[in-house]
């Protein structure tokens, strides 16, 4: 069986990329490999992570050029990992139901335009929420509103700062994202005649 080819889109340090690379190497993601990493920023440390892992890594800002590279590398699914750009229609249409994202809150709470990175944790604490966490979802034209594939929760502790909460949530992201990606590959990408909704019903 040929392994599916994944592309990871990044903008920053790439800690989730690192977790995904470890998951591929450790067999958590068994039937796919990371074939391409694309960053929206030239100075993103994620590019160095990719290069150290022997993965082709490029800085591309225009979606039409990203789509061209995805086609050239015969990518089967796209994973957003700290990608700070909104994916536009051409990529969404070409990879319908095959673009995943990890968001640092329990969607649908604390999601949508402008809600990313430390802003999310700031709003969670400001709202007095007792729990937070992370969500893996399918990317659609509506920001952070696509079908949810999995979530993990963490308590919001007395005295938490956005930084301390972020550390706890990120730890769960590194566990949740690889697990969901592995299940997504095995149960959806490897069954071309299966719809996303039928796969989700088995979760």
174 classed as catalytic: no
DSSP string, the chain: -PPEEEEEEESS--HHHHHHHHHHHHTSS-SEEEEEEEES-TT-HHHHHHHHTT--EEE---HHHHHHHHHHTT-SEEEESS--SPPPHHHHHHTTT-EEEEESS-TTTT-STT--THHHHHHHHHHT-SEEEEEEEE--SSTT-SPEEEEEEEE--TT--HHHHHHHHHHHHHHHHHHHHHHHIIIIIT-TTS-HHHHHTT-
Q: Which of 103, 121, 137, 174 is catalytic?
A: 103
**Residues forming the active site:** 103
């Amino acid at each position: 069986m040929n392994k599916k080819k994944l592309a990871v889109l990044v903008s920053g340090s790439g800690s989730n990329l690192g977790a995904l690379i470890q998951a591929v190497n450790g067999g958590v993601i068994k039937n796919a490999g990371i074939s391409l990493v694309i960053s929206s920023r030239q100075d993103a440390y994620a590019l160095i992570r990719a290069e150290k892992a022997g993965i082709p890594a490029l800085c591309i800002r225009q979606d039409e050029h990203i789509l061209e590279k995805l086609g050239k590398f015969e990518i089967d699914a796209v994973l957003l990992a700290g990608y700070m750009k909104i994916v536009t229609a051409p990529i969404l249409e070409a990879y319908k139901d095959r673009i995943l994202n990890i968001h640092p809150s329990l969607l649908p709470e604390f999601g949508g335009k402008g809600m990313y990175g430390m802003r999310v944790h700031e709003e969670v604490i400001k709202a007095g929420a007792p729990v937070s966490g992370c969500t893996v979802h399918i990317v659609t034209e509506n920001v952070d509103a696509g079908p949810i594939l999995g979530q993990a929760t963490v308590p919001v502790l007395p005295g938490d700062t956005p930084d301390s909460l972020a550390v706890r949530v990120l730890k769960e992201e590194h566990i949740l994202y690889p697990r969901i990606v592995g299940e997504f590959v095995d149960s959806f990408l490897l069954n071309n005649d299966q719809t996303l909704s039928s796969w989700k019903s088995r979760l």
